[in-house]
Amino acid sequence: MTWSAKLIKHNSESRIAVYFEKNQDLIARIKQIAGARWSQQKTVWHLPDTIENRERFKIEPLKNSLPSAEGIIQIEKFIQWLSSKRYSPSTIKTYSEALKSFLIFYREKPIAEINNEDVIIYNNEYILKNNLSASYQNQIINAIKLFFITVRETKIDIDKIHRPKRAKLLPNVLSKEEVKLILNAHSNIKHKMMLSLIYSCGLRRSELLNLKPADIDSKRGIVIIRQSKGKKDRIAPLSPKILEMLREYYTGYKPKTWLFEGQNENTKYDERSLSNVLKQALTKSRISKPVSLHWLRHSYATHLLESGTDLRYIQELLGHSSSKTTEIYTHVSTKSLQQIKSPFDDL
C-alpha cells in the first residue's frame, strides 16, 4: 500500500498530512489515531504533530520539541493556576500549548531572564517567519501575559507586551432566501432542527450541542443557554414555528440527557457530524459559498438589526460582553445602504 506523509500548517497548527489512494482499511486505521481529522479544504487526512506520529509515518524526529525541565514544571503549574481560576478545558489547552511553543523557543534561557525584547524576537523569528496568523499570535500573547502574572521573579513588564494589530474583517452574512434554502434542505427533522435552532436563536455551535431538554421552556417560549462563552447564562426567545418543530422532534427522538444526542444514548451530538449536516444542506441547496455554522449566527444578528431590533437587545441575545462586538453588524446591514442613491443613476 503506497502512502506518503509530510508536515503541514492547518489553522495555524503544525499537523502531519497523510496522502494515499482511497482505501477503507487505511481510513479506518487513521480514524483510530487520536486527533485525526479530515480536511475538506486540503482533501487530506491529517494528524497531530507528535513524536509518536512522526515515528509512525517516518517523519524526521522532532528536534528540541520539548521545553527545558524548568519549562515543563512551569507549564504544569500554569495549568494548575488556570484550573483553579476555573478556565474552561479548551482555554486551558489553548493557553498551555501556546505557552509551550514560546518556552520551546527559549528552552536554553532561564525563565527568570526572559524579557520583553524576547517576546518581540519570538514574534519576528517564529510567528512571522512561519506565516502564523494574528489570532494565533494573540493567543500566545494572552498565554504569556497570564503566565508571567504567576511567576514571582521575572524581567517581563506585562503592561508593555504589545499585541498584533487586528484585521478588521466583516462578518459573513447570508440573505434570508439563502438561509431558507439551507434550513429546508434536509427532510430529516433532527438535522433540520439543529440548523434551524442555531439560526433562530443565534447560537454558537457549542451552545447548541450543550443544550439539555430541560433548557427548553415551552411555556415561557424561551431557551436557556447555560455557561456559554465567558461562563455566562442567557436566554433567547423561541419562535412559535421553532416550538412546533421541537414538539415534532421530541416525538420522534425522545432525547434524554442532551437535546441533540449522538448515535449512542446519553452522548452529545458530534461537532464534526454537525458540520457535515451543514455541508450536506449546502450541497442540496446548491449554495457554493464557504458557509460555516457561525454564518447562521451572524445572519441572525444582521437580520434582527435590519428588522429594527435595538442593538442593545441584540447584544443581550448574542451574549456579547461589549457593545463594540455587536456594533460590527451595523457595517453589514444593508437596510440603510439600500436607501442611498448612487450618483451613477443620474448620469
Residues recognised as catalytic: 204, 229, 294, 297, 320, 329
Reference 199, options 266, 265, 133, 277; nearest CA is 277
State the alpha helices, DSSP H only, in the chain: 24-31, 51-56, 69-84, 89-105, 116-122, 134-150, 176-183, 189-201, 205-209, 240-253, 271-285, 293-306, 311-318, 323-327
Instruction: Name the DSSP class of 344.
Output: G
Reference 19, options 2, 35, 1, 3; nearest CA is 3
Sheet strands side by side (includes 44-48): 3-10, 13-20, 44-48, 37-39
Q: How many residues does the chain have?
A: 347
d(CA 132, CA 164): 12
Find out whether 199 and 296 touch, Cβ atoms under 8 Å: yes
Find out whether 158 and 148 touch, Cβ atoms under 8 Å: yes
d(CA 290, CA 41): 10
Find out whether 261 and 254 touch, Cβ atoms under 8 Å: no
Taking the C-alpha atoms of 144, 148, 149 and 151 in order, what is their torsion angle to the nearest 10 degrees? 150
* Helix-then-strand count for the chain, H and E: 14, 7
